[in-house]
Amino acid sequence: MLFMACLISYMLRVNMSVNILAMVQPIQSNARQITDDNSTTAGWLATNRTTTDHQTTTSTVPNYGPRYNWSSHEQSIILGAYFYGYLVSSLPAGICAERFGGRNMVGLSLAFSALLTALTPLAAETGMWVTIANRVLLGILGGFLYPALHNLISKWAPPDEKGKFVSALMGGTFGTVVTWPLVGVLIETVGWSFAFYIPAAIAAIVSALWYLIVADAPSVHPRIKAEEQEYIEKSLGDTISKSKLLPPVLSLATSLPFLSLLVLHFGNLWGLYFLITAAPKFMSEVLGFNLAKAGFLAAMPYLARSLAAFLFGTVGDHLRKKSLLGVTAIRKSFCIFSHIIPGLFLVGLIYIGFDPYVCVAIITLSLGFNGASTMTNLQNSQDLAPNFAGTLYGIINFVGTSSGFISPMLVAHFTADRSTMDEWQYVFLIGAAAYILPALVFVVFGSGQVQKWNEPKQKPPTTGQEHS
């Protein structure tokens, strides 16, 4: 259910990036508009143009439903609206989950997101600003999801199995792989409005299943076996408080392990958003690579990250269960895979990324290794303070999401006049530094120990004791 919640959230988040190309009048660019009868719909939607051998014609505009005269700038506002809403709710989301329960936060988020998605065609018909408001509200609902899921994991996942639980949060990455081809087929066959209605219906079904299957904690689940409840609660020990505590804001602000986690998470999201937003531009403008000819290749980095996350999560759980490495050692050593190696691959793009397929391979490896983040920044909030795992994740996600706005601005700055490898080498070097430097900070200051401020009213854990 964790996996499905994330998959649905991303399905409703990323569908607009493809749908909007069928909702607007094609904008004639300086580049030639070329047609290819063999190109896939998803490819056409992704690029709005494909190539033939020595033939140039104006594309006929397919009839996928009503089209609106939204300019490129207006389209960018619509596409960015989700993330403004997402940023607003990320910060209070963890506190809300801890006060009102992760089950309700996730269930309501999915249910109302389904409703807003189903209303998107009506919003578009009403006007651009109504569409923007719809996407902002959808983003606000989406911002509650991940902190609430971390809250649930802190209460349900035995410490030796947390890697697999956190790996399930990669359902969002897999959702991207599933959604783009799905909406492409829906747009081509039944029109773009159904590319909102069908995902909305799927989301509504998952929301109903969520309420049937999930509970806030083992102690309140109506159908849990007594031995399973006892096993989970015994494995968690006394790290989870029965009472609802207020997050220790001052302790967080002065905690080096938490601050180093915040930096590590920012670096992770910088790398992720950077590759999502900048890599296609690089392949198109510098390498001349047409993604319409290789839709599968375009999805490979996301698929690799999803699969690798489960692999790294399983390996990390094994190391922890067999006591081969302490929790802190696991968190720090896995930074090599989640941050340092992906950063080095970005440096490699500068020197060996001249072939389009080699470029895709490097980006796939970079995002694939970043799947190890399930054992580093995506799980560390569970170590530091299980009582406030949702709040901690909400804070680091709030700060980290800002990289989604900053990295495209950086790319635009360096490529304002020209877009060649000379300009892009600075972009990749900064991206590599954003991966590697936070990892080094975390290796020095990070921790896998339960912090004394996890239970402000109780006696703190023995110094040096690791939660395992």
- CA distances from residue 147 to 89, 95, 98, 203, 396 in whole angstroms, order as listed: 10, 9, 9, 19, 10
Global pTM exceeds 0.85: no
pLDDT of residue 30: 38
Greater pLDDT, 353 or 48: 353
Question: pLDDT averaged over the chain?
Answer: 83
pLDDT band at 73 (very low <50, low <70, confident <90, very high): confident
Q: Specify whether the CB–CB gap between 121 and 193 falls below 8 A.
A: yes
Which residue in the block uniquely carries the two structure tokens 């499905």? 4
Greater pLDDT, 49 or 419: 419
pLDDT of residue 197: 97
Helix axes 356-369, 295-321, angle to 10 degrees: 30
Greater pLDDT, 430 or 422: 430
Mind listing the pLDDT tens digit for each residue in 115-172? 999 999 999 999 999 999 999 999 999 999 999 999 999 999 998 888 889 889 988 8
pLDDT of residue 102: 93
Average pLDDT for 382-409: 86
Q: Specify whether the CB–CB gap between 56 and 98 falls below 8 A.
A: no
Q: Please report the domains of the chain, with CATH numbers, ordered by start residue.
A: 1-24+69-221 (1.20.1250.20), 245-455 (1.20.1250.20)
Which 3 state secondary structure label does DSSP give 24? strand
| Residue 334, pLDDT above cutoff 90 | yes
Greater pLDDT, 39 or 153: 153
Question: Distance (Å, rounded) from C-alpha 152 to C-alpha 93?
Answer: 13
Question: Distance (Å, rounded) from C-alpha 169 to C-alpha 52?
Answer: 41
pLDDT of residue 438: 97
Greater pLDDT, 53 or 351: 351
Question: Distance (Å, rounded) from C-alpha 78 to C-alpha 76?
Answer: 5
| Residue 280, pLDDT above cutoff 90 | no
Residues 6+ apart with CB under 8 A from 5: 106, 110, 145, 149, 171, 206, 210
pLDDT of residue 125: 96
- Tokens representing 65? 């439903």
Question: Distance (Å, rounded) from C-alpha 353 to C-alpha 140?
Answer: 38
* Cα Rg of the chain, angstroms: 23
Mind listing the pLDDT tens digit for each residue in 81-113? 888 899 889 889 988 988 899 999 999 999 999
Question: What's the one-letter identity of residue 259?
Answer: L
Q: Per mean pLDDT, which range of 205-214, 371-380, 454-463 is the poorest?
A: 454-463
Greater pLDDT, 373 or 274: 373
pLDDT of residue 28: 47
Average pLDDT for 165-191: 86
Average pLDDT for 9-27: 84
| Residue 39, pLDDT above cutoff 60 | no
Question: What's the one-letter identity of residue 354?
Answer: F
pLDDT of residue 71: 83
How many C-beta neighbours within 10 Å does residue 422 have? 10
pLDDT of residue 413: 81
| Residue 208, pLDDT above cutoff 60 | yes
Which residue in the block uniquely carries the two structure tokens 């607003």? 88
- Tokens representing 392? 């901690």
Average pLDDT for 293-318: 80
pLDDT band at 344 (very low <50, low <70, confident <90, very high): very high
